[in-house]
Structures are given as C-alpha cells and as structure tokens.
Amino acid sequence: MGIVDEDVVRVRESTDIVALIGEHLALKKVGTRYRGLCPFHQEKTPSFYVNAEMGLYKCFGCQASGDAITFVRELEHLDFVEAVERLANKAGIQLRYDDKRSGEQKSRNARLAEVVGVAIEEYHRLLLESPDAGAARRYLRGRGFDGVAARRFKLGWAPDEWDQLSRTLQKAGVARDDLVAAGLAFVNRANRLQDQFRARLLFPIFDSRGEPAGFGGRALGDEMPKYKNSPDNPLYHKSRILYGLHWAKAEIVARGEVVVCEGYTDVMAFALAGMPNAVATCGTALTDDHVRALKNLARRVVLAYDADAAGQGAAEKWYAWETEYAIELRVAALPAGRDPAEVWHESPEALVAAVEQATPFLQFRLDRLLGAADLDTPEGRGRAGQAAAALVAQHPNELVRDQYVMQLAARLSIEADVLRGTVATAASRGPARVAGRRDEPRRRPGPEDPSPGPGGSGEPSGGPPPPRPVDRRELDLLRWAIHAPEVVADWIDAPLFADPQARAVFVLLAGAGTFHDALDASTGPVRDLLERLAVEEPTADAEPTTVADRLLVNAVEPRARELQTHMLDAQDERATEVKRLLDEVAHHREMGDWSLAREPALRLVGLVSRFAGVDPDGS
C-alpha cells in the first residue's frame, strides 16, 4: 500500500534539490557542488554538500544523507508518503496509489482536514462576534492577550449549546460521519450528534505541515476537566502532535533551539515576547515521537515547565533522550509556581531571560535541592551532599558525573573523593546508565581517517560515528566511476578494489542501470559510502588522458604487488612477468611519463583479474 513507484521517481526527478534545500539554509556553490551549514546538527564550518545533478545531499559531520524526499522527511518529521505528497504538490504532479484503500484514505483525510478548517473559522468568528463569548474575551484580556493575539493564533469559542457546530456544518453540506471522524462531534445516547466542545475557549491545533488537525479547549467555569482535547482520530494523535510547531518550525531551525511548554497560552506568550520558537504538548507528557520530531529541527531543547513539574520529570527519560537523539536538554529558569504565560504578563523580558539562562537538567535539579537545603551547618551540608549524590548518580556519563562532583565538593566544603564514593554507592543501588550506551565521548576522525568532505573542512558534532577509513586511491577511482565513468570504463574491474566496501560499491554500480538503482539496492555502510561519493567531486588537475592514466597506475600497482607476493608463495612462474611490468610502471611513474605507463599497467590489470578468477577477456 503506497504511491506507485513510477510517481515516486517522477517526484524525485522533478524536484530541484538545491532550490528545496535552499529554502532552509544558505548554499554556496563550490565547483559543481553546493555547500552549507548542516540543518541537522550544530556546526560552525560547513560540512553539508549537495549534488544537484544526482539530487543527493550528504553531511560529513553528522552523516545525514539522502535525496529530496529524505530531506523533507527528516526536516519536517513526515513519513515517506507524506513527504512525497508534499513534493508532488510543489511540482504539480498528480500521484497514483497502488492500493485503492490507500488512495481513499488519503482523500478522506484531506476531506476531514477541510472540515476541521471550517470549524476553526466558525469558532474563531464566534469568539470575535458572539455576545456569549464575552467571558472568553475577558479571560484572554485578563491574561494579557488582546484581539490582535486572538486573531494571530485563530482562537475560538465553543458556545454552551449541544449541537450548534454540528447543525451549522451540516447545513453547509458536511456529512454526519465526517463530523464524528474529525473529532468535532459524537453520537449521544439519543442517537443525535452532540458537539465535542461546549462552553470552552478553543486553541486550534495544526499538524507540522500546517494542516488543520483538532482543538484544545479550556473550560472557563468549574467544568472538569479544565482542559479537553480532540479525541485521537486519523488527523490528530496527541502523542505525536505539538501545538504551534507549524508556526515555530522556521524559527526553531534558524535559532537551533526549541522551547517546549505545557500550555497553549505559554506558546502564545513566548511568540509575543519575541521568541516564536516555542511549542507545547497537547494534554500529554513529552513522548519519544515528540522528541524525534524536534531533534530534526534543533539539537537544543529548553523545557519551559513550571519548576516543580520540570524537577519531577523522569531523569532516566531525559538522559536517555539526550544520549539517543544527541540533543542538549536544558530547563528554563522560571520562578517556582509560575508558568511562562504568567511570567510574560508581568515582564516579557523576564520570560526571555529565563530561556537564555536555562541550565542543564541535572544542574537545575541540584540548584533546587541546594537552594532548599540548610548549608550553614555540617549536618545540613552532609544531608544535602547525600541527596545531591543520588541525583548525580542518575546521570549516564561518568565524565559529566565527575564534573558535578567537583562542583558540589566546592559548594558543600566536602572532599571530592569522599563525594565520589557517595555517588558510586548511590549508583550501585540503582541503574545510573542508559541501557546499551557507554560513557565514552563520540569519536572524532583522526589523521588516519579519510578527509571529512570535498573541502576537507567538515567537523562532526554529534550523530553517528564516521565511517571507517577506505584507501584514498580506491575512493578516487569510485568517484570517477560515478561522475565520469567514461574515464575508467575500459579497464576498471572488481579485483582492483581490496576494501570490501569499495568493492561492493563497484559491483552495485556495475550491475545497476543508474546510480539511483545502485543506491536503492544498497544498505548499511555500502549505502553510506555511495551517498558520500555522490556529493564528492573528482579532482581533475591535468589533461583528461593524463588523469585516466594516473588513475590506472594508482589503482593497479598495489593489487599487482599483492599478486606478485601470492605468486612467489605459490612458486608461480608468472611472478617474474608481474615484477617486470611493475618495474616498468614504476619507472614511467617516477619520470612522470603517465602515457608510457599505460600499456604495462593495462597488462597488469589483466593479470590481476585473471588471477582473481575474473578474466575481462573471458579467457
């Protein structure tokens, strides 16, 4: 069930990947490639490259890679079908689906989103115009939100009637089943439609694409629950959706930081304070799905929760997210018992400062603990040290734990070694590590590694470890095989590649009709290498014939030396011929006579292939 393969190819080929990526970051042309700062991790030196001709990108810092569809999926946290549909809409391509039910579901979801959009407009009109929405307007003014804010965020009012919205929308031609499926109404015991929301201030909720999805409603009287959200339905999934994300997405990417709140008015407050990079969960705690969506946009996540709620968060969960998704989690310095909207109402500057002064989660917990402790007596400092050690022991990184031990030792006047022992004891009583993870820092490429990118200037900062080194000569040969195969087509062969990954890449290329066919057939490290080579440009620093001859010599010499060694061990008489040809090639190479080295080098290719059981002549 999905989109017809031919249409996926059409979308991919019709998308200008440079223009697409250029909507999100600045790209500079370098040779025939484009380079910019990676949108998937924080970096100061550009390590993100785009190959316009092949429609591929690769980051040599965090190893992110793919095509236009992958880029949209990762950046906007969409599934494959959603990403293709987004690009198809931009390209004006009508998609076909290989399963009738899939196409029908897509059509129905689009219809339901349209119905929710109509409801948003109707509820918004009632908030602005209806006399019985006066209480909602007074509530908003009391929180500091005027009519401009109400219009900006499309706030609405659900009147205290059983079925006003249902009647209004049915008169406009909306089907009864669609009202129920969209979460706007339900069938009561009398088998009549009843509106989902009554006598509530409504906050419209959109998905990450900006499509209408549902509502969050706040009761203004004593009705419980105080907050009520749309029921889960084909458009609205509270464990995945984030209020305000479609408004905040561009700012989150630009700032490299996202602020996560608990309330809808908190998001509004941040936007009005000049920080429109805030989002809120919709009546649920932050989930894995939420964090996966956010880490694609920014690596710095600031929790703007009420101080008590933030301090009571499950530490193991926060630390697991930091490790799993390579994010930096901080907590805003909000006054105890105050939410962001309340702080903003009194002082927008204070709200901004609270985020700017956000501290790491463990630091926040320790500051709260010590702030409430009696540090004037040895007994008080001892008790505080015991409690603080228990908090430090929960952190999965040993180096981080030790930094906090030294900090606490100075603050509590306790010997660092004594405090370390207390932390170790606390750690032994419960899991202090994230399962399956180690404390060692991420490995950075060393001098033995291949260059990080076409410009040699990529600096990893998070993400998966860099691929293991592959012989530079074999990488160079593969670059030409991909980007200018005519240069090497008459002699390149699998036995010229000693590295198994390089050889696997060549075999895929040789057996595929196009580069994208080879890419689709690849997995794991082989796919990573293919994607990397696709955005690296082969260097032509001489005439084409000289480049071709030099590639030939560089490729065959090491394999021919190995062949000579094997022949000598096997007492094969052909070892003498291999040595003679190697000596001839070496002489011409040292003299710079690459054209004269070509003929003996080609003969060596034949011998290498024949000895490996792959004779290009078929003999």
pLDDT tens across 162-204, in order? 999 999 999 999 999 999 999 999 998 888 999 999 999 999 9
- Please report which helix (H) or strand (E) contains residue 229, including its range: strand 227-229
Q: Taking 80 as the threshold, does the pLDDT of residue 469 lie above it?
A: no
Q: What is the pLDDT of residue 307?
A: 65
**pLDDT band at residue 462 under the 50/70/90 scheme:** very low
Q: Taking 50 as the threshold, does the pLDDT of residue 445 lie above it?
A: no
Q: What is the pLDDT of residue 448?
A: 31
pLDDT tens across 47-61, in order? 899 988 888 999 988
**pLDDT band at residue 94 under the 50/70/90 scheme:** confident
Which residue in this structure is represented by tokens 């009549």? Answer: 192
The mean per-residue pLDDT over the stretch 401-426 comes to 93
The mean per-residue pLDDT over the stretch 314-326 comes to 81
Residues in the chain: 619
**pLDDT band at residue 465 under the 50/70/90 scheme:** very low
Q: Best-predicted range by mean pLDDT among 7-21, 307-321, 531-545?
A: 7-21
Q: Taking 60 as the threshold, does the pLDDT of residue 438 lie above it?
A: no
pLDDT tens across 531-577, in order? 888 888 787 766 778 888 888 998 889 989 988 888 888 888 888 89
Q: What is the pLDDT of residue 368?
A: 87
Enter the tokens of residue 96.
Answer: 């076909």
Q: Taking 60 as the threshold, does the pLDDT of residue 1 lie above it?
A: no
Query: Using CA atoms, how far apart are residues 74 and 68, in angstroms rounded to an integer?
Result: 10
Q: What is the pLDDT of residue 523?
A: 86
The mean per-residue pLDDT over the stretch 283-289 comes to 86
Q: Taking 60 as the threshold, does the pLDDT of residue 323 lie above it?
A: yes
If you write DSSP's letter for every residue of 524-543 in order, what string do you get? HHHHHHHHHHHHSPPP--S-
The mean per-residue pLDDT over the stretch 283-296 comes to 84
Question: How far apart, in Å, are the Cα atoms of 612 and each of 449, 495, 564?
Answer: 28, 7, 13
The distance in angstroms from the start CA to the end CA of the chain is 48
Q: Taking 50 as the threshold, does the pLDDT of residue 391 lie above it?
A: yes
Average pLDDT, the chain: 85
Q: What is the pLDDT of residue 358?
A: 94
Is the distance from CB of 154 to CB of 120 less than 8 angstroms?
A: yes
Q: Best-predicted range by mean pLDDT among 7-21, 143-157, 534-548, 601-615?
A: 143-157
pTM beyond 0.75: no
Q: Taking 60 as the threshold, does the pLDDT of residue 619 lie above it?
A: no
Neighbours of 344 (CB within 10 A): 27
The mean per-residue pLDDT over the stretch 2-6 comes to 82
Query: Using CA atoms, how far apart are residues 41 and 300, in angstroms rounded to an integer?
Result: 10
For domain 242-356, the CATH class is alpha beta
Q: What is the pLDDT of residue 432?
A: 39
Q: What is the pLDDT of residue 303?
A: 93
Which residue in this structure is represented by tokens 């901080």? Answer: 330
- Please report which helix (H) or strand (E) contains residue 252, including its range: helix 245-255
pLDDT tens across 26-83, in order? 898 888 789 999 988 888 889 899 988 888 999 988 888 999 999 998 887 778 888 9
Q: Best-predicted range by mean pLDDT among 96-100, 116-120, 336-340?
A: 116-120
Q: Taking 90 as the threshold, does the pLDDT of residue 447 lie above it?
A: no
pLDDT tens across 516-529, in order? 888 888 888 888 88
Query: Using CA atoms, how far apart are residues 330 and 338, in angstroms rounded to an integer?
Result: 18
| 5-91: CATH architecture | Alpha-Beta Complex (3.90)
CATH of region 100-229: 3.90.980.10
**pLDDT band at residue 101 under the 50/70/90 scheme:** low
Q: What is the pLDDT of residue 616?
A: 37
Q: What is the pLDDT of residue 449?
A: 35
Q: What is the pLDDT of residue 461?
A: 38
pLDDT tens across 250-264, in order? 888 778 899 999 999
Q: Taking 60 as the threshold, does the pLDDT of residue 613 lie above it?
A: no
CA triple 359-360-364, angle to 5 deg:
65
**pLDDT band at residue 436 under the 50/70/90 scheme:** very low
The helix-helix angle for 544-569 and 472-483 (nearest 10°) equals: 130
pLDDT tens across 343-378, in order? 999 999 999 999 999 999 899 889 989 988 999 999
Query: Using CA atoms, how far apart are residues 572 and 549, in angstroms rounded to an integer?
Result: 28
Query: Using CA atoms, how far apart are residues 382 and 380, in angstroms rounded to an integer?
Result: 5
The mean per-residue pLDDT over the stretch 110-135 comes to 96
Q: Taking 70 as the threshold, does the pLDDT of residue 284 lie above it?
A: yes
Q: What is the pLDDT of residue 385?
A: 93
Q: What is the pLDDT of residue 313?
A: 60
Q: Quick one: what percent of the chain has pLDDT higher than 90?
A: 42
The mean per-residue pLDDT over the stretch 97-102 comes to 69
Poorest-pLDDT segment among 86-90, 422-426, 464-468: 464-468
Q: What is the pLDDT of residue 543?
A: 75
pLDDT tens across 490-510, in order? 888 889 998 888 999 998 888
Domain-by-domain residue ranges, the chain?
5-91, 100-229, 242-356, 373-428, 472-611
H-helix segments, 65-158: 68-76, 80-91, 100-129, 134-142, 147-152
